[in-house]
Structure 1
């Protein structure tokens, strides 16, 4: 039996090694045609690097569909070469074989997760930088910054827990000033602040230090820190990655919630990414029972299931981003497909037997 499953896993792996590069090349070519049509800087080394950095994202979206195609080719090959008959005659049912083969899409879901968490964030950032260079556009400015230290002048430093760079408001600010010997002489803390001609700090605590043993503490409802902060320069100093991985989306969503910034977009993206990670297993599970039915319309049904899955998940993600439905509602499609897969799995049989 181990020999049989090694044989089946080997065939599935070979199919994937053919399908994924084929689909990736087509996807990259389509994008390159569009890029070359609009590019203002035709640097072919940059284009080659852009193609390389785009591959992890392309594979991320191609892999779930590739699993379905690999399963389809496996079933078709076993039937056409009549290899399915000795398998069944030796007491290995399609259900039992399916339970073992489902290890394959589960493993690929783990590959999806590793790609999303480890490879895609850095590759996406590099691809975006090259894309802006090729189109001769400036780097995108960040909208929010968090947990950052910045230099106000040679001896003054500022920390903020959260700062909306467009609205010019933030929370959790600390300003520390040092003397020429780099001993702290002033510390200002506040729960909220607004950046204008001056920095207006609310619920401020001002600590003046003449020496370590001599200091005064003042608590003020509002304090004007008479120092202009150039936000345009600050945007250039603060380098914030756009969230790509699950970890990044979760972190940004939690920080946005903590400081009262809208977080629905980040949470909806987070749950949508989770759905994409598990999609190889979900699609493989619901499609597997249909593969052994040799009626011609089954191919259309399988294609329809794939299309409905992606469009329904995208639709629920957009609804969740506007708080129309709870974020976990994005998994409604996955639950329905799992239930449908269980129903089909219970009725599974080879149509020619």
Structure 2
């Protein structure tokens, strides 16, 4: 049995190593045309680095369909070479064969998880740097940009801490501002439950003002609203803070939890979290769905199988967009996987030798 397993896995690996680079080349070529169209300077070194850094993301989306095609090629090879008959005559049914073969996409699903959690977050950051060099301008703003739990230095004597900041809206929650004199003794302290950075001032609400510039007559008061004149350049401000641009599942979960905790819209992060969680195991799920159709003489069944793959990706994206807008619960995104698994196992249960 182990000899058969190794033989089948070897064939699948060979097919995958042919299919994946081929699709990746097409994706890279499309990316190259796009970056050449947008680039302000033809720096071939940075263009090459940009393309290489884009590969992990391209592979993340290409791998599932590549695994499906590898399964199609394997079944076609086994049938045309008549190798499938000795396998079946040795008491290995198509169902048992499927259990052996599904180990392959399961392993690749964990490869997808590793790529998403550890590789893509790094390459995404580097891609932005290279992209800004090629276009000679900062990368485009992310739709939702949050920062939280950070101290920053505004100048040599002024420091600010905030628990949460929506960088695009320039507003946040729980701010602490401290100013020191030349002897580095605190002379002014400002706190607030909410704050807005606007023009050359910081506007706080439900806060405290402590003025220690005159120790004999210091000021302490609770304020509902307070304006403090200090110029904060939000573009330079972004360079000072650690802005969260989540890519991985853990980063998306953390950002969603933080946004929800401070009462800010978390739909964007939750929808992406469940979408990524759903599609990580797409190589395994799509393999389960398509496997029963591979052994049928009816060509229309294979067309149906390919159509179901397209519906899988667009269905997941559609439900994710609905979940982001709040039309459906976030967990609904996982329903696509559950439906496809149910259909796949149903057809596997009906799979018989007579299908060949």
TM-score normalized by structure 1?
Answer: 0.91
1:308-347, aligned counterparts within 5 Å?
308-347=311-350
Specify the SS of the correspondent of 2:281.
helix
Separation (CA, whole Å) in 2 of partners of 1:188 and 1:309? 52
RMSD between aligned alpha carbons? 2.3
Is the contact made by 2:102 and 2:287 (CA closer than 8 Å) also made in structure 1?
yes
Separation (CA, whole Å) in 2 of partners of 1:81 and 1:201? 76
Separation (CA, whole Å) in 2 of partners of 1:308 and 1:75? 23
1:229 Cα offset (Å): 2.6
Specify the SS of the correspondent of 2:21.
helix
Separation (CA, whole Å) in 2 of partners of 1:206 and 1:34? 53
Separation (CA, whole Å) in 2 of partners of 1:101 and 1:232? 52
Is the contact made by 2:39 and 2:134 (CA closer than 8 Å) also made in structure 1?
yes
Judge which range, 60-69 or 144-153, deviates more. 144-153
Specify the SS of the correspondent of 1:42.
coil
Separation (CA, whole Å) in 1 of partners of 2:196 and 2:61? 42
1:120 Cα offset (Å): 0.5
- 1:193 and 2:208 matched: no
Q: Deviations over 1:181-227 (max 9, x none)?
A: 545554433211122343232232445679xxxx9965443444343
Specify the SS of the correspondent of 1:334.
helix
Separation (CA, whole Å) in 1 of partners of 2:273 and 2:93? 38
1:333–1:141 CA distance, 2 compared to 1 (3 A): closer
Is the contact made by 1:293 and 1:350 (CA closer than 8 Å) also made in structure 2?
no
Judge which range, 72-81 or 217-226, deviates more. 217-226
1:130-169, aligned counterparts within 5 Å?
130-141=130-141, 143-169=145-171
Separation (CA, whole Å) in 2 of partners of 1:139 and 1:342? 45
Partner in structure 1 of residue 351 of structure 2: 348
Partner in structure 2 of residue 300 of structure 1: 303
Separation (CA, whole Å) in 2 of partners of 1:296 and 1:144? 51
Separation (CA, whole Å) in 2 of partners of 1:229 and 1:134? 29
Specify the SS of the correspondent of 1:243.
coil
1:239 Cα offset (Å): 4.9
1:273-284, aligned counterparts within 5 Å?
273-284=276-287
Partner in structure 2 of residue 38 of structure 1: 38
Is the contact made by 1:116 and 1:246 (CA closer than 8 Å) also made in structure 2?
yes
Specify the SS of the correspondent of 2:343.
helix
Unaligned runs of 5+ in 1: none
Partner in structure 2 of residue 108 of structure 1: 108
Separation (CA, whole Å) in 2 of partners of 1:304 and 1:291? 14
Partner in structure 1 of residue 86 of structure 2: 86
Separation (CA, whole Å) in 2 of partners of 1:168 and 1:54? 31
2:173 is aligned, of 166, 171, 174, to: 171
Q: Deviations over 1:86-127 (max 9, x none)?
A: 111111111112112212111111110100010001112222
Partner in structure 2 of residue 95 of structure 1: 95
2:228 is aligned, of 221, 225, 228, to: 225
Is the contact made by 2:244 and 2:255 (CA closer than 8 Å) also made in structure 1?
no
Judge which range, 300-309 or 56-65, deviates more. 300-309
Is the contact made by 1:148 and 1:159 (CA closer than 8 Å) also made in structure 2?
yes
1:232–1:123 CA distance, 2 compared to 1 (3 A): closer
Separation (CA, whole Å) in 1 of partners of 2:100 and 2:275? 28
Specify the SS of the correspondent of 2:174.
strand
Is the contact made by 1:292 and 1:349 (CA closer than 8 Å) also made in structure 2?
no
1:139 Cα offset (Å): 3.2
Partner in structure 2 of residue 67 of structure 1: 67
Partner in structure 2 of residue 237 of structure 1: 240
Specify the SS of the correspondent of 2:280.
helix
1:29 Cα offset (Å): 0.7
Partner in structure 1 of residue 4 of structure 2: 4
Judge which range, 133-142 or 279-288, deviates more. 133-142
Judge which range, 181-190 or 286-295, deviates more. 181-190
